[in-house]
Structure formats: structure tokens, C-alpha cells
Amino acid sequence: MATHTDHTPELLAYAREISLRDDPVLADLRELNAQLPGGSSLQVLAEEGQLLALLVQLTGAARVLEIGTFTGYSTLCMARALSPGGQVVTCELNPKWIEIAASYWDRAGVSDRITPRVGDARDTLAGLREEHGEGGFDLVFVDADKARYPEYYEASLHLVRPGGLIVLDNTLFFGRVADPAATGPDTCAVRDLNKLLRDDDRVDLSLLVMADGITLVRKRTPDWTFVSRSGQ
């Protein structure tokens, strides 16, 4: 069937009831975020957190990089799913969010699997490249300031290993990417990134039409031969 199901509130509620595996730590953190200014829009959906954990497990990731921590919900989900001895390096500009996140990481028993890096992500990513070299991470999750998404993507492509996965959040950006009248810097940056991804022969990709748009990007291995859409 080629049609797309209409995601009514009732259907979304059903999907959450039938598939979400929740626990008190995650539920409490979501409740806290809902009380923060803009918190509901900044936090990933519970279903997305569960998807991120599954992606970490499927890839067997031992080293995960996260760009944009907020209060650490997605960090927690991914840290729980790590292979033995794995680490999540999470980048955040605001130390206040790390302070909040740390208490929930402690409650969940995953603090030893998480290394926060506070500061401008561009500086942090440059430092990580020097520290770990090319391909030092198995999976990268990008959920930070949208105006710099193209920069974060390019840095992530250097930091993730061949065959590794980059997950980019908010690639539909509240639907504004499809509105020609929407010309804000964040919208334009996400729109530019989406076009770049479509035409980038270094990667394979799939844009999932869930939450606010989640794009999965697999870095191709060096021996993969690209065939253009024209077949040339």
C-alpha cells in the first residue's frame, strides 16, 4: 500500500501505549523538561529516545558522540544501550543543562558511561578530531542549534567511522522546510543540509517522517562505488 497513514492523536497515543518501554527515571526527566521554558520542544520524543537506543544496539556502538545535550534525555537512552565499556561524549554549551542531566544519569546508573564536554561545539568537535583522529566514533547524534547544522554534519562525517551512523534530528523543522515563505536562518540551514545530504555521494540516507524529522546517514565505506541518479 503506497498511502501514508494519517497520524491522528489517537493513533499516536496507541503507538505509544503499545510500543514505548518507559521507566520512572525517563518519565521524571520528561516531566521536568515540560516545566522548563521551551523544554517540550527541546527534548526528543520518548519514542525517539527509544529509537536512538535501538540504533546504538544495532550498530554495536562503543563510542557515541552527541552534539547538543539539553537535560540529557537522549544521552541517557544511548548510554544505557552501549556495548560493554562504551562511552557517550556529549557536547553542550550551557553548563546548567549538564548539572541537571548529571543527577538523572546518576539515578539511572550510567554516569560512568558519559563524558560531557561544555563549550562551543565547533571547538569541541575540532578537539575531538585531534584527540581521536578520523573515524573515532561509531555513531553521532546531532540535535543542537540548527543554523550550524551543515557545519556539524561535516564535522560528524570526519569523526564517524566508515560504515558508521549519523542521526540528525529536526530535519523537517516544524514543517517550515517545505514552506518557501519561511526564510529564517534556522529553517534555511536545515533546508540547505537536506539538499546537501540528498546529493552527497559519501553517504546513504533515509529521512524518517516521525517526530520532527529524523535523518539517518550511513557513511559509505571506501570501496563503495557510487552510481549517479542518471545511471552514468
Tell me, yes or no, whether 65 lies in a domain: yes
40 domain-assigned = yes
Chunked into runs of 10 residues, the chain (232 residues) has average pLDDT values of 76 92 95 89 91 97 97 98 95 97 97 97 95 94 96 97 98 96 97 97 96 96 54 38
Report the alpha-carbon distance of residue 77 to residue 167 in Å, rounded.
14
Domain range enclosing 206: 22-218
232 occurs within a structural domain: no
* Contact in structure between 81 and 108 (CB atoms under 8 Å): no
- Given this model, what pLDDT does residue 38 score? 81
What residues form DSSP beta bridges with 165?
A: 139, 218
Q: Does the residue 44 lie in any domain?
A: yes
Name the phi and psi angles at 213, rounded to 5.
Answer: 95, 120
How far is it, in rounded angstroms, from Cα 35 to Cα 33? Answer: 5
Q: Is 11 helix (H, G, I), strand (E, B) or coil?
A: helix
Residue 152 lies in a domain: yes
Could you give the number of structural domains in the chain?
Answer: 1
Domain membership flag for residue 184 = yes
CA distance 58 to 74: 16
pLDDT at 224: 54
Domain harbouring 183, CATH code: 3.40.50.150
CA-CA distance, 143 to 169, in Å (whole number)?
5
Q: Quote the pLDDT of residue 203.
A: 98
Question: Residue 229's pLDDT is what?
Answer: 38
Q: What is the pTM of this model?
A: 0.92
**Does the residue 225 lie in any domain?**
no
Question: Is residue 77 assigned to a domain?
Answer: yes
Q: Residue 191 to residues 41, 134, 148, 207, 213: CA-CA distances in angstroms?
A: 19, 27, 12, 13, 12
pLDDT of amino acid 40: 77
Instruction: Tell me the residue type at 66.
Output: E
